[in-house]
Structure 1
Amino acid sequence: MKKILTLVLFVVAVATMSSVQAADLRVADGTITSAIKNQLPVDRIESYRADFGKLFCFTRIVGAQEDTEVTHVWYYQDAELARVTLPVRSSDWRTYSSKRFLPQWAGQWKVAVLDEEGSEIAVIPFLLE
């Protein structure tokens, strides 16, 4: 009985640590940019030409207690067009994904940033004109 109780307490402790991990993870900086240089965005875009061709979503993730991951989900209006899972390997981690665009995709866009459990931790909106 003592072994079962110890096992139950261990499982509860691990589950609690996982939920604390996810709760502490946040996006300290998130932006859409036309390029990444030296692991940083070169500009910050809220609206851009639809015929530009390619944009990047840069995120600086803080609060990870151990290796984890985030997912960038690219939406055009309400339709998901891309999903990119990215590693997070320290408590202050920079990462990015990119998306190519067609000129006919002018309109409202957003990138939702999800933690490892699929919870939304940030949304970065932008407009293609």
Structure 2
Amino acid sequence: MWKMLIRVALVSVLSLSMAVPAFAQGTVARAQFTSDVIDREPIDDIGPSVQVEYGGIQRVYFFSDLRDMAGSHVIHRWKLDGEEQADVDFDIGGDRWRVWSSKRLMPGFDGKWSVEVVQDDVVIDTYSFDYVDEN
């Protein structure tokens, strides 16, 4: 009898410990780099590579459609070649929440850019593009 109760308790504890992260972590339903966001939607997808415009400044937006993160704190962490450049913070107010951030990229900022989506201090996804100087 005791062995059966211990087994049931152990299985319950293991099931609960495996289920907690699924509830705690939401998902990124959509994400993309774009040249602008209008009416809470990206207007285009800039793709995996952006070319440096000679003497110009290129603003790149990162759009993310977040699900099941209500009450969470989310960060878009912008990095250049692995070095942190900026954190943009969001407090998520609903089960579906669309947020975006942007970075002004100038000549000389070429390299591998990435944005980490960080939920409550845990990186849940990473997206990247190359900023290419072909001059």
* TM-score category of the 2 structures, normalised to the smaller one: 0.7 to 0.9
Q: Which residue number corresponds to residue 61 of structure 1?
A: 66
Matched, 1:22 2:27: no
1:127 equivalent among 124, 130, 135: 130
1:22–1:115 Cα contact (<8 Å) kept: no
Identify if the C-alpha distance between structure 1 residues 34 and 18 changes in structure 2 by more than 3 Å, giving closer, same or farther.
same
Structure 2 unmatched runs, 5+: 1-16
Partner of 2:119: 115
- Cα deviation for residue 22 of structure 1 reads 2.6
Matched, 1:73 2:74: no
Count how many residue pairs are aligned between Structure 1 and Structure 2.
111
What does residue 6 of structure 2 align with?
none
SS in 1 for 2:45: coil
User: What is the alpha-carbon distance in structure 2 between the residues aligned to residue 102 and residue 125 of structure 1?
Assistant: 17
- Report what 1:9 is aligned to: none
Query: In the alignment, which residue of structure 1 is the partner of 2:50?
Result: 48
User: Following the alignment from structure 1 to structure 2, what is the Cα–Cα distance between the partners of residues 50 and 18?
Assistant: 44
CA distance in 2, matches of 1:82, 1:26: 22
1:16-50 CA-partner distances (Å, limit 9, x unpaired): 89855432x11111111110011011111221123
Aligned-pair identity (%): 26
RMSD between aligned alpha carbons? Answer: 1.9
Deviation at 1:101, TM superposition (A): 1.1
Alignment-derived partner of residue 10 in structure 1:
none
- Deviation above 6 Å: which 4+ runs of structure 1? none
Give the partner amino acid of 1:28: A
Q: Structure 1: state its 5+ residue gaps.
A: 1-15
